Amino acid sequence: MASVDDQGNVLLGNQLLISNESTDIENTQSTGTLSSGADVMETSELDLASYGFDAILPFEPSAGQRPIDPSNGSLLKTSEVYELNSTKDFYTYSFITGNMDQTHARLAYNGTHGQVWVDADNPTMFITDDDACLIGEAFDDSIYPLITENFYTESDVNADGKIAILCFDIQDNYAIPGDAYCNGYFSPEDLYDGADSNRMEIFCMDTYPTMGNDVNNPNVSQIFVGLAHEFQHMVNFNRNEIEEKSGYMDTWLDEALSEAAGYMYQVLAESAGQDCKDVHTMRLSSYNKSDAIRNGKSLLDWNTSADNLNYALSYFFGQYLRTQVDEALGSGNGVKVFNEIITDPGNGNAAVESVIQKYIDPQLTFGEFLTNYRAAMVLKADTGSFGFNGEEAFNGISTPLYIGGTTNLAGGGAIVTAIDAPFTVPVDQGTDVSCLGIFW
């Protein structure tokens, strides 16, 4: 039976988890003396570039700059009421040049909460009005209520009660399968007055290759998970930056919540027999085949852009937190755990620790929870701190084993290595480094 040994300085088990429980990603801490050359499971490095990435465009409001006030017409600079087939020029970002372009688009769907705009001049993918209707109805009927009920609500800087969804070929250097590409992005600048602002709530969603490689038959359902992902970023920004004025949520946590939003939509769609992108399998593959994760990748370190390893770690952390709360209170209890994190005054680990201590264990620290999370990624126990509340979807996790010697871990980093028990905890390990013996 899978279990752990955390008693004393001599640990039993056939594997060893070493976790840096600090939140400091700048100053690493030693694992302590380790011998190298342990046996390791065979893995092949995943071609991470074959996956798309989502983005929040960097934006820091200048001193005193506030979001657009819809009552101030001189800042809004738009009062158009858009009807079907209206056209408009949008500012859109090129990941190739790093500059803003303009995309001329037509309004192809005008719904209760969402508007779908499609490239009117040079579309790479031909999006029909029926396609636009599928996108808009998925947003209005499923994605909008899912996010606003479980996460938070959006702003409305242009006072139209709508969120624009602009579908076009995002310029991202994609040429052939295997190249990196952008699924979609949210630009906070669009909510502020500025030269490159669209002055509205808007997502930019990719058509090619996100909707497939057949330019005459786009699979629009492939952007639905991404829409949920980007919408979480938008409502998160509204709460933390616009309403609270407390700044951005830590990237690793903001992404964990957006990943959770995407997975919630996936579960909803699959239960209804509908097609969508499989974010779970994608993150599972990233995690299982990664040398970076094998070598101690930190959950908290998002210094590398478009890194699917970061997405994988954040995704599984969000699911671990959710299932631990479910187990503590009973699944289906209705606790909006992600909403509580967004509305907490803390924008990072403090917000998570508040939820942990409220629902799971009042004595459990964030750092200890990190270690338990890493152990759960190995053990997948049916119950308790070292599993995902028995949810079968997580049984496919296979943590790659570290085979090197002594190494340094950033805060939030961890390795799992094979050992010959009994194992004596090194006296030269870092102050915040924790060891667990794992019976597996």
For 385, which DSSP code? T
Token pair belonging to 39: 């046996």
Residue carrying the six token digits 């009994």: 422
Asked whether 163 and 202 are in contact (CB, 8 A), the reply is: yes
Choosing from 21, 154, 189, 230, the catalytic residue is 230
What is the sign, positive or negative, of the torsion defined by CA atoms of 342, 411, 436, 415? Answer: positive
Helices (DSSP H) in 184-223: which residue ranges? Answer: none
Residue 424 bridge partners (DSSP): 10
Residue 233 bridge partners (DSSP): none
Residue 61 bridge partners (DSSP): none
Token pair belonging to 437: 């013996």
Helices (DSSP H) in 79-177: which residue ranges? Answer: 129-138, 144-150
Q: Does 368 participate in catalysis according to the annotation?
A: no
Token pair belonging to 201: 């709530």
Complete DSSP assignment for 90-147? EEEE-TTTSSEEEEEEEEEEE-SSEEEEEESSS-SS---HHHHHHHHHHIIIIIHHHH
How far apart are alpha carbons 360 and 195 in whole angstroms?
A: 47
- Indicate which residues carry an active-site annotation: 230
